[in-house]
Structure formats: C-alpha cells, structure tokens
C-alpha cells in the first residue's frame, strides 16, 4: 500500500483493529522519528491486553528526502511497529513497478522523486504513465504541462493547459497558469475569458480577482483592474498586494489622497512596507512636503537597504538627495562574522 502520512495511516489501522478486538492506545507507543545512522530508525514492540489475530500490514510513505517502509505485524499478543528508511527511494519504487507496472501511486511517487532531483524529462515520463493508467489524474496532467513549461516547451505546455481547463474548468490552478501563459504571449483578452470562466466556479476566490486585476492592468483598463483588486482585498483582508496595486493605479491617475490611503494600509506588511514607504515619499515630494518625504524614504531604506540605490537613481528625489541616510552596513558584517564563527565551530567539532 502507498500512503502519504504514516501517523494517520497507523491511527486508521489501529482504530480498525480496536473496533473489532478492543481498545488500543496508539499514542502511548508512537514515538517521533529521530535521526539514526541505521536504516531502521523506528522500532517498538508492546503487548496487547487482548489477543489479536495474526497479520502483517506494510505501506510506503515519502518525505522531502527519504522513502519510508512501514510494517505493522501481530502474532498472538505481540504487536510490533517498525519504520525503515531507505535513502535511495528510487530502487524501492522501481522494484515495486517491476512487480506491478500498473501501480499508479508508485509511478507518481517516482515522478516526484525525479522532479526533486532535477530529472525533469524522467519525471514527465512517469507522470505520463500515471495519466495513461488513470485518465482522471488531472494533477499529474497539470504537472506535465508545468514541467514542459520549465523545459521551455511553452507551446506544448499551453496546449495541455488549454485542454485541461476545457475538460475541467473548475481546476483553478490550471486556469491561472493558462492565463499567465496567455499574458506572456500578449493574448490578454483570451486570458480574461479563461479567468471569467474560472470565476463561475470560484466566485469568491482571491486569486481569481487578483489575476483579473493584473490582466486588466496590462490592458491599461485601470478602472476595471481597480474593481478587481478591491474585490480581492475584501475577500482577503490580510493580503495587501491588492491594496498596493490599487495605490499604484491611483498614483498613476493622480489621485494622491486615495493612493496615500492604500499605501498606508501596506506599511504593516513586512514584505510590502519598504515599497509602501518609498511610494509614500514620492507622494510627499509631489505635494512639496520634502521633510515628510525624507522621513518616509529613510524608513524605507532602514527596512530594505536596496531602497537606497533605488532612491539615489530616482529623479523625483534629486532635491532631497543630500538628506537620504546611507544604510548601515555594519549589521550585515556582524551577521556574516557570526555565521562564519558558527560554521568554524561546527567544522572544528566535526573534525
């Protein structure tokens, strides 16, 4: 058997046994997986209060780096759980596929491993086998399209995404990927059609409205773009990218008060705050409030040192160039020295 989560499957098995043969406390015996140089990294035995029938149950799971073989066995009152880690997961799956070439999950897991290793073409081959065995394996079909795109085969990727979205119009991730590729080819109206169809199946989805806002912005239809961003902002009040884009549109249109309002909403966002302060500084410069602009710009630089170079190259800030704070590089040097010290101590201990 192939499953994605060991603890969930163990609980499922034991719950099934409990319903038939009496209660068993899984949590009392389940231990966290810890590092161990041996292949067998988890092994525990315990005695049950009631006699269970003899059985052997094995299944495979995978993590980001390793493949695990789990074995649950019972003989009379002795119940054993073992977990073996195989560093080379491919060998296990290849052997499994040799015995059962129609094992869909094995092909899928092997494809994922090839993908993690960077073997994109081998990964595609395995995903193709998954789709051949299961025509409804839409996730694998989507994976093939995205891997083809990664290889630079944009035309085939576009065709696959188009077929996938036509067959399964509620597949949101595929719809967004398709609209992105259409935009790359400047086919904006087609991209809008794709997202309008996605909207029928996902009427309250943030990503749909945000993507539509991006496309309408590329079409210079700022009023419709703003409406889409506003809808996205209402759906997800914790996400401020929409607010930032609305602020930029208002700035382009010369609506400084509205622009300032939306940029101000972004200053609490860790990723957007440097850019928000930077744009606020521009607004203050346009208004002639140089002192306030200097304060906002220096905050932006303090939050992100890259803002300094950006500001010194921006003609808007020429009048206040002499008041811009040079970023403090000492902190970066101290962090580098601390990291070097840690690495040196680590290498010394290993030796």
pTM, entire model? 0.69
In this structure, what are the phi and psi dihedrals at residue 258, rounded to the nearest 5 degrees?
Answer: -65, -40
* Portion of the chain with pLDDT greater than 90, in percent: 56
Average pLDDT over residues 241-268: 96
The confidence band for 204, taking pLDDT boundaries of 50, 70 and 90, is very high
Question: Which residue matches tokens 């201990």?
Answer: 349
15 pLDDT higher than 70:
no
Q: What is the pLDDT of residue 104?
A: 86
The confidence band for 106, taking pLDDT boundaries of 50, 70 and 90, is confident
How far is 94 from 129, CA to CA, in rounded Å? 13
Q: What is the pLDDT of residue 68?
A: 52
Question: Mean pLDDT, the chain, as a whole number?
Answer: 79
pLDDT (tens digit, 9 = 90+) per residue, 266-323? Answer: 999 999 999 999 999 999 999 999 999 999 999 999 999 999 999 999 999 999 988 9
Q: Which run of H or of E encompasses 47?
A: strand 40-47
The confidence band for 130, taking pLDDT boundaries of 50, 70 and 90, is very high
Which of 94, 14, 19, 83 has its CA nearest to residue 55? 14
Q: What is the pLDDT of residue 340?
A: 58
Q: Which run of H or of E encompasses 74?
A: strand 67-75
Q: What is the pLDDT of residue 117?
A: 78
Q: Could you say which DSSP state residue 57 is in?
A: E
The confidence band for 202, taking pLDDT boundaries of 50, 70 and 90, is very high
Q: Which two tokens stand for residue 286?
A: 């346009």
pLDDT (tens digit, 9 = 90+) per residue, 170-196? Answer: 999 999 999 999 999 999 999 999 999
Beta bridge partners of 74: 55, 79
212 pLDDT higher than 70:
yes
Average pLDDT over residues 72-90: 51
76 pLDDT higher than 90:
no
> What is the Rg, in whole angstroms, of the alpha carbon atoms belonging to the chain?
28
């Amino acid at each position: 058997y192939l499953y994605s989560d060991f603890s969930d499957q163990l609980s499922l098995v034991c719950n099934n046994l409990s319903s038939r043969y009496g209660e068993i406390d899984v949590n009392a015996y389940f231990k966290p997986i810890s590092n161990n140089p041996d292949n067998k990294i988890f092994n525990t035995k315990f005695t049950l209060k009631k006699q269970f029938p003899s059985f052997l149950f094995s299944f495979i799971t995978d993590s980001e780096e390793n493949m695990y073989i789990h074995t649950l066995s019972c003989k009379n009152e002795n119940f054993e759980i073992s977990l073996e880690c195989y560093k080379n997961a491919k060998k296990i799956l290849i052997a499994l596929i040799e015995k059962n070439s129609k094992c869909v999950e094995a092909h899928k897991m092997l494809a994922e491993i090839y993908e993690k290793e960077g073997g994109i073409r081998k990964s595609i081959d395995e995903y193709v086998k998954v789709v051949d065995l299961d025509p409804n394996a839409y996730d694998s079909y989507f994976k093939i399209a995205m891997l083809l795109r990664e290889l630079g085969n944009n035309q085939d990727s576009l065709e696959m995404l188009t077929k996938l979205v036509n067959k399964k119009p509620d597949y949101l991730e595929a719809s967004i990927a398709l609209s992105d590729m259409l935009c790359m080819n400047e086919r904006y109206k087609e991209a809008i059609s794709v997202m309008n169809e996605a909207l029928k199946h996902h009427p309250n989805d943030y990503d749909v409205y945000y993507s539509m806002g991006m496309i309408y912005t590329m079409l210079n239809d700022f009023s419709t773009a703003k409406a889409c961003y506003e809808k996205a902002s209402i759906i997800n009040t914790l996400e401020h990218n929409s607010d930032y884009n609305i602020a930029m549109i208002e700035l382009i249109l010369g609506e400084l008060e509205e622009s300032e309002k939306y940029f101000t909403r972004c200053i609490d966002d860790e990723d957007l705050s440097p850019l928000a302060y930077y744009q606020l500084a521009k607004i203050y410069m346009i208004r002639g409030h140089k002192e306030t602009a200097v304060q906002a710009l220096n905050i932006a630089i303090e939050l992100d040192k890259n803002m300094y170079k950006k500001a010194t190259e921006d003609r808007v800030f020429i009048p206040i160039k002499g008041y811009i704070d040079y970023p403090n590089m000492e902190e970066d040097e101290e962090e580098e020295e601390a990291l070097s010290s840690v690495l040196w101590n680590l290498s010394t201990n290993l030796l």
